[in-house]
Amino acid sequence: MTAGLLEKFREVILGKKYLFHLHTNYTDGKCTVDDYCKWAINRASEVLIFTEHIRKRPSYDFNRFLADIDQARICYPDLEIWAGVEAKVLPGGGLDLSPEVAARVPVICFACHSFPRDSKLYQKSLENLFSSPDWKDKIRVWVHPGRFLKKAGLLSVCVSFLQNLAAAALTREVLIEVNLRENLLPEAFTKSIPAQLLIRGCDAHSLEDLDEYYTAPVQSQL
Amino acid sequence: MAYAAVLITGAGAPGIAGTIYALKENPEKRVFRIISTDINEDAVGKYLTDTFYQVPSPEEDDYLLSMEEIVRDENIDIIIPQTTREILVLAEHVDHFRGLGAEVVVSPAISIKTANDKYLLLEKAKQINIPCPDYYLTDSEITLREATRMLGYPGKKAVAKPRISHGMRGLRILSQESGNVDQLLNSKPEGLETDLDSLLQILSRGKWPELIVSEYLPGEEYTIDVFRARTTVVIPRKRRSIRSGISFDAEVELREDLIEYSTKLAAALNLKYCFGFQFKMSSDGIPMLLECNPRVQGTMVTSVMAGFNLIYYAVMEALGVQVAVDGTKIENGTRFVRYWGGVGVSDGRVIGKV
């Protein structure tokens, strides 16, 4: 990890009004990079962090997505705009992400979307991923934590399992998302994580999603 | 605990029992929770799977919403679309379902559009030197008449089918001998054969469709099961008996020519997971491409029984688990013979299976 990059990112999430985890119409979102920027300007948000879905063979033109972000930086100089991707964690600890795409973004999100319901395999895969040298120069965020345990029906009984994984993430300076859309994490768990290592994620697919999160009391810091 | 929750669409499709068999009889003895859907409330898969949901037809606006609710409520990991009508809409929303935590066992949308369009498929095959029957795209009475003439009709039989269709819907064999006494007395009333004038009469009653008119191929028909991920496995099987378009007696026949053509075509179309092709032999004994099914095929279970469980491996690939297929032994000559089976139901409860 480039120390300066992570420090800068931490300053952003601790000190600025940011919107993290945004999906556009390049994948399953309903609006464009520009739509989000306009919304952010109107709501006095300062930072946008796009984390578009990606796979090894992208289903869309990733260059155009990055070009849209570059264009938005020119059109909205008052906004700080980050480009990132949300990649699927593979059993064993790999990522469904090409090195070429990874090289072009500072933020990589690790997501367990569909994963075998084998908790040992899940734990080992995440531990391998967190310690992998492949992505260590990036800002890494473990997004949708808790989703696997929910699917496996273990969320309410396995907070310690989640805490162990969080400890592995924190050791490797992997940030942990509090996903506002799913709202799965037990309070006891989030309270046990240092604030500077948590990041609130909108997991937004539309401006309506942002409206909803923005007005909800719990998200007053957005 | 179940290894994953798998949603199979088209619970009333002919292949439903085979797909369920493939998931249950997997080589690693994994246990899957199986959920099924269908547009019909009483599709037979309802009685064969753990949970069943009726869904709107895929052309309706609320289809995706309904599928999304099921994915959320049932914590679905994998979706296996079994019907042609559903694959494109699901392929166009793979990112959406991935965001919900479910992977769809389906090829890219652009591949499906080509594979489902019989004209584009044949054009693609021609480009890469895969044998095809002579064919013409028609869109009017004049072009249809001209195409049949070019194919030697009425002296020779010809085949007409919609450019885009599902199964045998819209298929007709054009034959001057149709409707004779011998046919009436000795053939089952499947209604595939007709003459050109009768077909023109029907078509003149509505909006004229685009039809592919092609050479009639008299030889044996083959279905090819293909698995394509990091590696490609191709299993041809002869259709020894076909009823209403469904293989009732299939036999694995590992023909090198069919394996080569299918491998090339699968790569050219960029299809993935499991899918299939159909070929038919010409009078000269050359296999000619008929069509592509870019989804789980109805009698794919034949390949499962021959030693390669491509439906299970497609699910594992979708879960991100790398499939090692080295050393897989496929038993040439394996047959799959269908019979009339069913389930006995009383008060919505299964009381017996045949």
| ipTM entry | 0.82
Interchain CB distance below 8 Å, A114 and B96: no
b or e along A164-202 (b: 16 or more beta carbons within 10 Å of the residue's beta carbon)? ebbebbbebebbbbbbbbbebbeeebeeebeeeebbbbb
Q: Please indicate if any CB of chain B lies within 8 Å of the CB of A116.
A: yes
Listed in order, strand segments (DSSP E) in chain A are: 18-22, 47-54, 80-88, 107-111, 139-143, 175-179, 198-201
Helices (H), B82-191: 84-91, 94-99, 109-116, 118-127, 141-150, 181-186
Nearest by Cα to A24 from A75, A59, A76: A59
Interchain CB distance below 8 Å, A53 and B99: yes
Q: Please indicate if any CB of chain B lies within 8 Å of the CB of A205.
A: yes
User: Which residues from A are below 8 Å from B99, CB to CB?
Assistant: 23, 27-28, 53, 113, 203, 205
Q: Please indicate if any CB of chain A lies within 8 Å of the CB of B48.
A: no
User: Which residues from A are below 8 Å from B75, CB to CB?
Assistant: 150-151
CATH of domain A3-216: 3.20.20.140
Q: Please indicate if any CB of chain A lies within 8 Å of the CB of B251.
A: no
User: Which residues from A are below 8 Å from B4, CB to CB?
Assistant: 114, 116-117
Encode pLDDT of A131-140 as tens digits: 999 999 999 9
Nearest CA in chain A to B101: A113
Nearest to B101 among A91, A147, A153 (CB): A147
User: Which residues from A are below 8 Å from B102, CB to CB?
Assistant: 113-114
pLDDT at position A221: 41
Q: Please indicate if any CB of chain B lies within 8 Å of the CB of A96.
A: yes
Nearest to A114 among B2, B102, B322 (CB): B102
User: Which residues from B are below 8 Å from A90, CB to CB?
Assistant: 320
Q: Please indicate if any CB of chain A lies within 8 Å of the CB of B319.
A: yes
Task: Give the pLDDT band of residue A216 (cuts 50, 70, 90).
Answer: low
User: Which residues from B are below 8 Å from A114, CB to CB?
Assistant: 4, 77-78, 98, 101-103, 318-320
pLDDT at position A218: 47
pLDDT at position A220: 40
Minimal CA separation from A66 to chain B, in Å: 18
Q: Is the pLDDT of residue A219 over 50?
A: no
Q: Please indicate if any CB of chain B lies within 8 Å of the CB of A61.
A: no
Interchain CB distance below 8 Å, A59 and B318: no
Q: Please indicate if any CB of chain B lies within 8 Å of the CB of A183.
A: no
Q: Please indicate if any CB of chain B lies within 8 Å of the CB of A121.
A: no
pLDDT at position B183: 66
How would you classify residue B79: left for phi > 0, otherwise alpha for psi between -120 and 50, otherwise beta?
beta
Interchain CB distance below 8 Å, B319 and A150: no
Q: Please indicate if any CB of chain B lies within 8 Å of the CB of A140.
A: no
Nearest to B95 among A27, A92, A147 (CB): A27
Interchain CB distance below 8 Å, B77 and A114: yes
Q: Is the pLDDT of residue A222 over 60?
A: no
* A·B CB contacts under 8 A: 64
Interchain CB distance below 8 Å, B3 and A118: yes
Contacts of B167-171 with CB under 8 Å at 24 or more apart are: B167/B84, B167/B245, B168/B192, B168/B244, B168/B245, B170/B209, B170/B211
Encode pLDDT of A55-84 as tens digits: 998 889 999 999 999 999 999 999 999 999
Q: Please indicate if any CB of chain B lies within 8 Å of the CB of A21.
A: no
The one-digit pLDDT tens for each residue of chain B (354 residues) are 899 999 999 999 999 999 999 999 999 999 999 999 999 999 999 999 999 999 999 999 999 999 999 999 999 999 999 999 999 999 999 989 998 899 999 999 999 999 999 999 999 999 999 999 999 999 999 999 999 999 999 999 999 999 988 777 888 999 887 666 776 677 666 668 888 998 999 888 888 899 999 999 999 999 999 999 989 999 999 999 998 888 999 999 999 999 999 999 999 999 999 999 999 999 999 999 999 999 999 999 999 999 999 999 999 999 999 888 878 899 999 999 999 899 999 998 999 999
pLDDT at position B294: 97
- DSSP per-residue letters across B171-212: -EEE-TTTT-HHHHHHS-S---EE-HHHHHHHHTTSPPPPEE
Encode pLDDT of A152-172 as tens digits: 887 777 778 888 999 999 999
Task: Give the pLDDT band of residue A184 (cuts 50, 70, 90).
Answer: confident
Interchain CB distance below 8 Å, A117 and B2: yes
Q: CA angle at residue A13 from A7 to A17, to 5 degrees?
A: 140
Interchain CB distance below 8 Å, A96 and B78: no
User: Which residues from B are below 8 Å from A152, CB to CB?
Assistant: 1
pLDDT at position B169: 80
pLDDT at position B226: 98
Place of tokens 């040298």: A133
User: Which residues from A are below 8 Å from B315, CB to CB?
Assistant: none
Other Cβ atoms within 10 Å of B132 Cβ, number: 18
Minimal CA separation from B38 to chain A, in Å: 23
- First-to-final CA distance of chain B: 29
Domains and CATH numbers, chain B: 4-105 (3.40.50.20), 112-119+218-337 (3.30.470.20), 134-215 (3.30.1490.20)
- Beta bridge partner(s), residue B223: B237, B278
Nearest CA in chain A to B77: A114
Q: Please indicate if any CB of chain B lies within 8 Å of the CB of A53.
A: yes
Nearest to A114 among B103, B108, B322 (CB): B103
